[in-house]
Structure 1
Amino acid sequence: MVVNNPNNWHWVDKNCLDWARRYFDEHLVGLKTAERDGKRAEITSVSSMEGDCEVSQRKGKVISLFDLKLVMMVSGHVGDEKFEGSITVPEVAFDSEKDDYQFDISIYKETGKLSEIKPVIKEELLPQLRDTFYGFGPDLLKTHANDIQVPADQVNSQFTKGNLQSGPASSGAKGKPAQAASKTVTSKTEVATSSTSGAPKYNTTTLHLEPTFNVPAIELYQTFIDKQRIQAWSRSPLQSSSSKSVLEKGDEITLFGGNITSKLVELEAGKRLVFEWRLNDWRQGHYSRMAMEFHESKEYHETKLQVTWSGVPIGEEDKAKGNFMDYYVRSIKLTFGFGAVL
């Protein structure tokens, strides 16, 4: 990053969101519990990360400002029974203390037996996560602080030089000095690849949603591919590339007066659906990828819908998430009685 900032006086920002994604991929994936009475859990991936992450400087002072939400996928076993699930952290912020982090643990297809893994995760895995999140701020400053300042030998102002020598002003850990990162994470800008060759690109992010429905998985699955059901919960006419009553691979539909276009690209009965999905006002040719996995807990008579939604343009996250929860999840529950509506 080239800086033209005489005496490090002016405000300079550096967006570090892509670097943060790579940092957490490297530092979180692989964290695990010990084998304990036949129980074990491990972080397998970072499913999504939303929010802001910047390093800034003015008058020689360097600060980090970040507020992130992360969802991590977890898997393991309880005895001979395997499980998958997720751990959601609603807020990892620049001013968070180690005890401030909150965790939402979700076990897919949960049973009484599988629920026994939650205390193990809380006792052994969450402390490792707290340490990683608490160390993120210092590592962020250590890696990027020098990128937004001119070297000290080019600074004539004694005021800003004094600030520069005093080190970074703040980090994700209050009062904690910047420490060397245990690993180097290379930043790289991520842009969406459109399904149409030569189409404009967006900087994109991935959303992770987990609504729960009080219905068997196969019934919920049919609700997303049966055209009559789709028209019922969308409360709008459906235009389709096929005349068949049920969506098949490759079929494309438009909903909500043409505001949404959705193409089915993968399906596995009762288990998985993948759509290419776009809002009409997105740039021509740009599609996101909405992957749905259906996890049914027969013991609890419910199905958790795991939605991994990649390719959502940055800045559109709240709109996309809100529309999905209102016009898909809420509407399906109201139309078919598949669960409580909050």
Structure 2
Amino acid sequence: MAKIGEGDKRWIVEDRADGANVHNWHWAETDCLDWSRNFLTNLLCNKTILSGEGNLYIKTKNIEKLEGEAYLNVRKGKVIPGYELNLVLSYEAEVKDSDGSSVILNTEGTVELPYIADENSGEDPEIRITVKDDGPVGKRVKEAFLAKGKPFVFEKVKDFVIAMAKGGPAKDDLEVKKVTVKKPTSDYGSAASSGNVSASNSGSSVKESKKKQEKRNEGFKTITMTEKFNCRAKDLYEILMDENRWKGFTQSNARISKEVGGEFSIFDGSVTGKNVELLEGKLIVQNWRFGSWPDGIQSKVRLSFDEPESGVTVVKLTHTDVPEEDRYGNSTVVENTEKGWREIIFHRIRTVFGFGI
């Protein structure tokens, strides 16, 4: 691409006063960090958590820290949010004696959510609660915040996730196009109206079946990937089916059955499923479901292992029925799932176990 003032003018791209990104056809990115800070401040700050229950009074104060990034990509009216935030919220607490006549402790504390991110938007984030007083009364305050304040914080974070999925600060600028789809006349009906009904019923049946299948596939995608490793096929198979090794390379909790029909839970429970077919060193077929997906939706993972030469394994991944959106309207599901396979699973296996090619 030539710069302005250089090269063939037909290939020069420059800003124009009359330019318009109609229907957000081109990618438009909006920085949302300041908006996120204001939004979360309104949701979380100066809110009463406890007001006398058990002689405890707890109230949130300020957002002490909000670091990271938050942005929205929009194209053709489709919202793709992205965010990785570290949030620290302060709170104050007061504890009175049994008859409520005098204060026995005034203290403060913090609530930290170190990783609020689009990739775990369907999960409750990690939360760390501290209190300045580490005595028995301070411990009561911390336990009370865990019981009452933690659900409150998670609820407000979920509100933020939903707001980002709907467009955040760019919501009012998004143009929603309503498309009226004309219902097509069936092949049989068209033929009948023209006096030609000689098509076979079997042909119409095949077309109808194809249409139904296409309808079922709407809103779902298939991820395919081929990866090469410097190891034996049975070693790679064992890593993917061994919960202790899985914990090692993902740095997350995992429970994995090695039996057909057995269940598994990986990535701290954010992915669950069941083994459908297992052939040691050859094949893994599993049902996968992410907790952030709409209820009732599950996908199928097929991993086939081939050893074209000694010490070299080729893995072919086919991940079908991956929904395009999660339960919150977040449209990055397919992108994040593909990224997870490539970077969090395959890449880390190469790095941790030395299987790089």
Q: TM-score when scaled to structure 2?
A: 0.41
Higher relative contact order (CA 8 A, sep 6+): 1
Larger Rg: 2
TM-score by length of 1: 0.42
